[in-house]
């Protein structure tokens, strides 16, 4: 297997894990507070990544080489993705449903491509760029729904200095979506820069998760209430968010590893094609919430064609 196809394979694995996470989130938020669920998922991110790293160290045959600049890049990426990006994304899942929420991430590969071109001199061929454009347009068709869904859950706490802007942000679909996309795009560029100078995706995922959790614990305005509500929370909801945490951290590892072998924006795009899977599965699992329309079918077909163009260009 060539390194390029290895990158594509890792991206597809991450796509499956992220799609499962979205569907599980839609179930879990009906059982426990989203803030508590966010905390559980992030704690599991750290714990599972640490366990994975311990297993890797026990099995690896080569020596571990430390790289401080790459470690700091991975940690900063965790601040944007594990903390800010996930906050915006979980909020969109609660407010607009899993299918609509997926579209908020769809534009992040575009921002990733622009940033990678500006800061990393990463250039895409016309074939790849055309395939990406087709895929993005297809994701828009799949995920777009007129109207706005009602608010059904509580938000994860932002830093106290941002609380006054929270409601204005959440009332705007554009601002919420743009914030989510930019947070993930910045994280992608930081991770891609790090993995290409230090091939340690598990360490990268762990450092990002630790930094994201630290930010959450430092700035959460409701952390005391969250910890006190842990004992009385629905056990099934806790376990669901724990499983979400496992899916997320494994997906991050796969995505980080893929960025070493294929362009950053392509890896980001392939791992975020979640609407192609989430929409039909959401229709089957949560009957009555999403309808499969002509735009859904056309968008799915267009996205798949775009992916084929990228992979077999």
Which pLDDT score, from 0 to 100, does residue 312 have? 66
Residue 164, domain member (yes or no): yes
Cβ contact 226:36 at 8 Å = yes
Residue 164 has pLDDT above 80, yes or no: no
Exposed/middle/buried for residue 11 (C-beta within 10 Å: 0-12, 13-18, 19+): buried
Query: How far is Cα 55 from Cα 63, in angstroms, rounded to an integer?
Result: 15
How many CA within 13 A on the CB side of residue 309? 19
pLDDT at 174 over 80: no
Cα dist. 54→35, 58, 206 in Å? 29, 6, 11
Average predicted confidence (pLDDT) for the chain: 79
Total number of domains constituting the chain: 1
**Can you tell me the mean pLDDT for 258-283?**
83
Residue 92 is assigned to a structural domain of this protein: yes
Q: Is residue 88 pLDDT above 60, yes or no?
A: yes
310 lies in some domain: no
Residue 10 has pLDDT above 80, yes or no: yes
- 121 sits in the region (left: phi over 0; alpha: psi -120 to 50; else beta) called left
pLDDT above 90 coverage of the chain, percent: 29
Share of the chain above pLDDT 70, in %: 76
Q: For residue 138, is it within any domain?
A: no
Distance CA 307, CA 290 (A): 24
Residue 34 lies in a domain: yes
- Residue 137 included in any domain: no
Check: pTM over 0.85? Answer yes or no. no
Q: Is residue 134 part of a domain?
A: no
The per-residue pLDDT for 251 is 94
| Domain, as residue range, for 7 | 3-123+147-296
Structural domain contains residue 142: no
């Amino acid at each position: 297997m060539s390194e390029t196809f290895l990158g594509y394979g890792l991206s597809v694995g991450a796509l499956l894990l992220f799609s499962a996470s979205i569907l599980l989130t839609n179930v879990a938020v009906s059982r426990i507070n989203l803030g508590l669920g966010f905390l559980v998922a992030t704690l599991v991110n750290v714990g599972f990544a640490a366990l994975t790293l311990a297993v890797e160290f026990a099995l690896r045959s080569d020596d571990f080489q430390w790289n401080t600049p790459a470690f700091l890049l991975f940690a900063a990426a965790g601040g944007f993705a594990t903390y800010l990006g996930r906050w915006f994304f979980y909020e969109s899942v609660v407010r607009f449903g899993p299918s609509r929420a997926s579209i908020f991430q769809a534009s992040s590969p575009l921002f990733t491509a622009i940033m990678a071109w500006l800061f990393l001199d990463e250039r895409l061929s016309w074939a790849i760029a055309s395939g990406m454009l087709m895929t993005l347009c297809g994701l828009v068709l799949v995920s777009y729904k007129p109207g706005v869904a009602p608010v059904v859950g509580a938000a994860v706490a932002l830093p106290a200095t941002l609380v006054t802007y929270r409601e204005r942000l959440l009332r705007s679909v554009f601002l919420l979506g743009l914030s989510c996309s930019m947070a993930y795009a910045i994280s992608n560029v930081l991770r891609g820069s790090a993995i290409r100078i230090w091939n340690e995706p598990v360490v990268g995922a762990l450092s990002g998760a630790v930094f994201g959790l630290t930010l959450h614990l430092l700035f959460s305005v409701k952390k005391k209430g969250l910890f006190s509500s842990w004992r009385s929370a629905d056990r099934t909801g806790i376990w669901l968010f724990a499983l979400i945490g496992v899916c997320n951290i494994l997906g991050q590892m796969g995505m980080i590893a893929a960025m070493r072998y294929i362009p950053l924006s392509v890896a980001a795009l392939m791992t975020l094609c979640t609407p192609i899977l989430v929409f039909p599965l959401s229709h089957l699992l949560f009957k009555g919430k999403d309808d499969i329309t002509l735009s859904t079918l056309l968008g799915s077909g267009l996205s798949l064609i775009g992916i084929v163009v990228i992979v077999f260009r």
